[in-house]
Chain A
Amino acid sequence: MLSLVRSMWLIFLHMFHKRETFQYPEQKAPLPARWRGRIALTRDPDGGERCVGCYLCAAACPVDCISLQATEDDSGRRYPEFFRINFSRCIFCGFCEEACPTYAIQLLPDYEMAEYNRQNLVYEKKDLLIDSEGKYPGYNYYNIAGMAIRGKDKGDAHQEEPPVDVKSLIP
């Protein structure tokens, strides 16, 4: 009983505390680096598109607002032919970033993307692809993966042996 009175008193005293509110348009909130805001597709250190069109983000998305089509260039490197996010559906849960095996899709600290026309919330690859590595500098998926692409043949990736000589029986 007394504790109730005490908590009422303490809460009453909050009347005289400093306000926590940011008066938004005039005053901007400082966002932490891992804020889940605007979604972007990043590039690897060599400037190549990081997204390999694996569809994992699309599968992870609880509101199914990502759709894409994978394709590959003449050297076998995969990339999305189109990549679309319908931000009028996105709930900024970050599951897509969590699912992405290549660090391609990232949620960035920016939330100012409101639109008057809902159609404008549909972002295509040209709206999503940025010229940066985002939060994870240095990572290049194809340096780890076993697929050969232009400039990286079999055996060139991180910790790979040169390709087996099938004709040799030497142990």
Chain B
Amino acid sequence: MTNFWWIIGGVLFALLNTAAGLIWVERRMLALWQDRYGPNRAGPFGLLVVLADTIKLFFKEDWIPPFADKVVFVFAPAVVMLSVLMSFVVMPFAPQIIVADLNIGLLFFLAMSSLGVYSVVLGGWASNNKYALLGAMRGASQMISYEVFMGLALMGVVVLSGSFNLREIVEAQKTVWFIVPQFIGFLIFLVAGVAETHRLPFDIPEAESELVAGFHSEYSGMKFGMFFIGEYLGITLISGMLVTLYFGGWLGPAFLPPVLWFVIKTFAFIMLFILFRASMPRPRYDQLMEYGWKVLFPLSILNLMVTAAIKLWLNT
């Protein structure tokens, strides 16, 4: 039992530090790709910017607009943190390092991550501000749409591995990572994952050039901080999921411990997310929806059907 608490504690610690560290990593990486230095003054390599940022967030006036719906306004940012953290419960970091080895792990992940949309909708609604509301509405429709084929894309993996248990899915990749048979599925999941975390280029709910800051326009201080951290946790989650589902999770040559393999692979995907942000323009809202429903959705069904057909054909 103590082991269990250790794992929880360790995972929580690692995740929160990663999220905080990502503040610095993202800025440095963006700067690198934009021929700048990024934060490099506070502490070695500017690492203390994380601390400075945290202090700043804590000390900002914790302001609730007088026109806002107070209860929901406070509650919304907590939802995003909670739902993302809950998703990590089923994440297999290494053969033994997993908080809850559920046999419906993948479904649990889908369920939890789709709860995240509530924070966007509630936050935007409670702010009682037209930009926030527009952002929230965009967020809701975007996430609902992309969730559909995110699930469908994952089903390819489930078909191949024959299990919803994430640990078993990783183990099923011993021979070949699912990226090979499920390349299309991987691409769809990647796109859907970016959309799910509303990161650039799919940051339509925030779209600062159109909507000020979208659903969190009215937030400041630590409440904004929670949205902020929630976003980084979301990146980590999707990256972890990508690794787990398509890149063999902790699997790797034995000269490194499994958990390190997992971390390295995840980190590579986080970098990819940041590179997306550095290089891609934001589509229009209608383009986004069109792309989702008219391209990705049929593609994911096709992918599932082909996978299932091949699997059936192989089995028989």
Give A contacts to B, CB under 8 Å. 4, 7-8, 10-12, 14-15, 17-21, 23
Contacts and interface: CB of A to CB of B under 8 A. Distances in A.
B91 to A, nearest CB: 27
Contact of A11 (B36, B37, B279): B279
A12 B275 contact: yes
Contact of A17 (B35, B275, B280): B35
A14 B35 contact: yes
A44 B275 CA distance: 55
Q: From DSSP, what is the main secondary structure of chain B's interface residues? A: helix
B276 A8 contact: yes
Contacts of B32: 14-15
Interface residues of B, number: 11
A12 B34 CA distance: 9
A59 B32 CA distance: 44
A4 B275 CA distance: 11
Q: From DSSP, what is the main secondary structure of chain A's interface residues? A: helix
Interface of B: 32-37, 275-276, 278-280
Nearest to A13: B33
A106 to B, nearest CB: 31
B279 A20 contact: no
B35 A18 contact: yes
B33 A19 contact: no
A4 B191 CA distance: 13
A18 B278 CA distance: 17
A7 B279 contact: yes
A41 B278 CA distance: 44
B217 to A, nearest CB: 23
Nearest to A17: B35
Contacts of B275: 8, 11-12
B142 to A, nearest CB: 19
B279 to A, nearest CB: 4
Among B276, B278, B279: residue with most chain A CB under 10 A:
B279
A7 B36 contact: no
A14 B35 CA distance: 6
A8 B34 CA distance: 12
A37 B278 CA distance: 31
B35 A4 contact: no
**4 nearest A-B residue pairs (beta carbon):** A11-B279, A8-B279, A20-B35, A15-B32
Contacts of A21: 35-37
A10 B275 CA distance: 11
